[in-house]
Amino acid sequence: MSDTSRLSLWQAAYVIARRDFSAIVFSKVFLLFLIGPLFFLAIMAGGGAIGGMAASGISEPTLGVAMSRQDNAAVGRAAGTLDPLVGMPDLTIIDGEDTTAPQTLLDDEDRDLFAVLTGTLQDPVLTGPENEIERWEGEVAMMVGAARGEAIPQAAITTRLTDGGIITRQTAQDATARAGILLLFMLTMFLAGMILSNLVEEKGNKIIEILAAAIPMDAVFVGKLFAMLGVSLVGLTVWGAAAGAILYLGASALPPIPPPAVGWPLFFGLFVIYFSMSYLLIGSVFITIGSMAPTVREVQTISLPATIMNLMVFFVSMFALSRPGSAIEIAAALFPLSSPYMMLARAAQDGVLWWHLAAIAWQVLWVAIFVKVGAGLFRRQVLKSGSAGREKKSKRRKSPA
């Protein structure tokens, strides 16, 4: 076969990617691979449902009413009248002579209050965390208006926000950032490992040597890498759809969670992009390692340093997350392997979009570098092992009986 008849690099890479993708996705093993995590999601959903049922039997926080005795009684009667119609919070009537500060009442665990209504019916003051104020301010205004005897019960209430609360916006965004980094790390490590087993199996079956005789070895590297990325995205789509369905069905049992800084739709889109970047970076390292090991047992030994390195990148990213704007946070955002983690965290904490455009371009550059270097090492290692094997066979043929 002449060189002119050989496929180009990208044509050959497409052939390899299509071959590997079809062989894996349409196999029975891949179906079991997809179903496995769904069992864990089902268990988590069942555990959440049981926890919700248990939580429903626990008394919920109440609204403390600390006005004068006359006003307290009027608010209690108004709440009893309106509750069948619009649903009022449970009340804890506090003696009107109790001059304890609202914050002290909120901090009292025995009282279990989510907010405190003080002042008078003409000048009511509602004190509590922001999320609880937003949730119950309308009902409290109606309750105070009804206590005044107004035909259309709707009173103006002065609100005072406290620092406490079940979920604040900053706390929720920090939690989303950490959860995003953790999920990105787990998926990358879990799915990138498939490259190693796939490559070692084909090396053992001598398929690599057949491919090397027909197409450029760089195309084999690129094709396998992007094929496994496609397989991973299929799994990510199925698992994400299942998780989304579970969250949608159980949305009523979840507390209100503030969205990430860029919003949920864009955050999910950036998650897929940064997962792809992280997978290609780590995958190029893993597939190069796989080309060096002749057996699965040796793969586990050789890949250990790469796994430890990725763990260190994960821990550094989690550490830098709590120090926004610091030197270590900027360095982690620039370092190729940790950049996808840090930029996903920034998507949760900050709404600046041009950072992500620059980061994606930076990561694409490093993906090209990693793929180029990895393909070169892959070519030398595979061809070296293939030529070594052929030399051993020729020596055995020439050796006297």
Q: In 105-157, which ranges are E strands?
A: 113-119, 124-129
* Residue indicated by tokens 């070169």: 376
Q: Is position 102 within any domain? A: yes
Domain identity same for 74 and 117:
yes
pLDDT band at 251 (very low <50, low <70, confident <90, very high): low
Whether the CB-CB separation of 257 and 174 falls below 8 Å is answered with no
Count how many domains the chain has: 2
For 189-304, list the strands marked E by DSSP. Answer: none
User: Is pLDDT at 155 greater than 80 in this prediction?
Assistant: no
Q: Is 356 inside a domain boundary?
A: yes
Q: What is the pLDDT of residues 196-213, one digit of tens each?
A: 777 767 766 667 767 767
Backbone angles phi and psi of 128, in degrees to 5: 170, 180
Q: Could you tell me if 115 and 141 are in contact, meaning their C-beta atoms sit under 8 angstroms apart?
A: no
Give the model confidence (pLDDT) of 18-32 as tens digits: 988 998 898 888 888
Could you say which of 162, 196, 224 is where a domain stops?
Answer: 162
Mean pLDDT over 230-246 rounds to 90
Do residues 191 and 127 share a domain?
no
Which structural domain, as residue segments, surrounds residue 111? 62-162
Structure tokens at 151: 């035909």
Neighbours of 210 (CB within 10 A): 11
Of 137, 162, 187, which marks where a domain is finished?
162
Q: What is the pTM for the complete model shown?
A: 0.71
Q: Are 373 and 341 part of one and the same domain?
A: yes
21 and 128 within one domain: no
**Are residues 270 and 188 located together in one domain of the fold?**
yes
Contact 196, 289 (CB under 8 A): yes
What is the 8-class DSSP label of residue 156? -
Is residue 288 in some structural domain? yes
343 and 252 fall within a common domain: yes
Phi, psi of 92 (to 5 degrees): -120, 105
- Return the percentage of the chain with pLDDT > 70, whole number: 79
Same structural domain, 275 and 143:
no
240 and 300 in a single domain? The answer is yes
Residue 230 vs residue 132, higher pLDDT: 230
